[in-house]
Chains A and B, each alone.
Chain A
């Protein structure tokens, strides 16, 4: 079974609209969860992370995510997207006893005018 699942491979959205990118994790994943963004032809940049404490995590560029233990989810949200948010977004969690960061398959966010 996939450790980290991103159900949506592509999410088109109009500029200034809200967006939610979904991520679910399995029991093999520790509760250290992350969202990364990859702009075209670039490396991965950490958007935000959940380690413990408050379940609502705020990150860079106006993104936030909510850790939900009962639903094993860690969805990423932004209230109003911009064209510059067009990128690939990866959810990730530590697996293998915390030794390695395992990624979901990614969600391509495409912001249109």
Chain B
């Protein structure tokens, strides 16, 4: 009955590989997000989609490409992984505007070796 679910929970991969993280929400929210949490626990928004339309694209390398097939799903594909991409990636969702708060998934810990 998870509200926002991400898979996989852990991902260990070699430099140069391409990987994807999937996210799904069953809350009926219109907006979904990807956040990156670095080793110092700092959380920074990467992307936001509202009804499948990209509305926020922060200064993220173009190796990162989000895809939203429908408003309940937001996937993140990363090409040519680098050591610095190691982090915890969180998916979140909210109603349009977000003023009632975001609901977060449990995170995907990506380790690039």
Task: Give A contacts to B, CB under 8 Å.
Answer: 30, 32, 34, 36, 38, 42-46, 49, 51, 88, 90, 94, 96, 98-103, 105-106
Instruction: Give the residue of B33, B48, B90 whose beta carbon is less than 8 angstroms from that of A43.
Output: B90
A101 touches B98 (CB 8 A): yes
A99 touches B98 (CB 8 A): yes
**B-chain residues with CB within 8 Å of residue A49 when the two chains form the complex:** 100-101
Closest Cβ neighbor of A88 among chain B residues: B41
Closest Cβ neighbor of A36 among chain B residues: B104
**B-chain residues with CB within 8 Å of residue A106 when the two chains form the complex:** 41-43
A99 touches B56 (CB 8 A): yes
Q: Is the interface of A mostly helix, strand, loop or mixed?
A: strand
Whether a CB of chain A sits under 8 angstroms from the CB of B102 is: yes
**Assuming the A-B contacts A43-B105, A43-B106, are A94 and B99 also in contact, with contact meaning beta carbons closer than 8 angstroms in the complex?**
yes
Bits for B66-101, please: 1 = Cβ < 8 Å to A, else 0. Answer: 000000000000000000000000101010011111
**A-chain residues with CB within 8 Å of residue B55 when the two chains form the complex:** 99
Q: How far is the CB of B45 from chain A (nearest CB, A)?
A: 5
**A-chain residues with CB within 8 Å of residue B90 when the two chains form the complex:** 43-44
Q: How far is the CB of A37 from chain B (nearest CB, A)?
A: 11
How far apart sit A102 and B99, CA to CA, in the bound complex (Å)?
Answer: 12
Whether a CB of chain A sits under 8 angstroms from the CB of B51 is: no
For the A-B complex with A44-B43, A100-B33 known, give 5 more contacts whose Cβ atoms are closer than 8 Å. Answer: A34-B101, A43-B90, A43-B106, A44-B92, A101-B45
A105 touches B42 (CB 8 A): yes
Instruction: Give the residue of A34, A43, A98, A105 whose beta carbon is less than 8 angstroms from that of B107.
Output: A43
B104 touches A44 (CB 8 A): yes
Instruction: Give the residue of B41, B56, B103 whose beta carbon is less than 8 angstroms from that of A46.
Output: B103
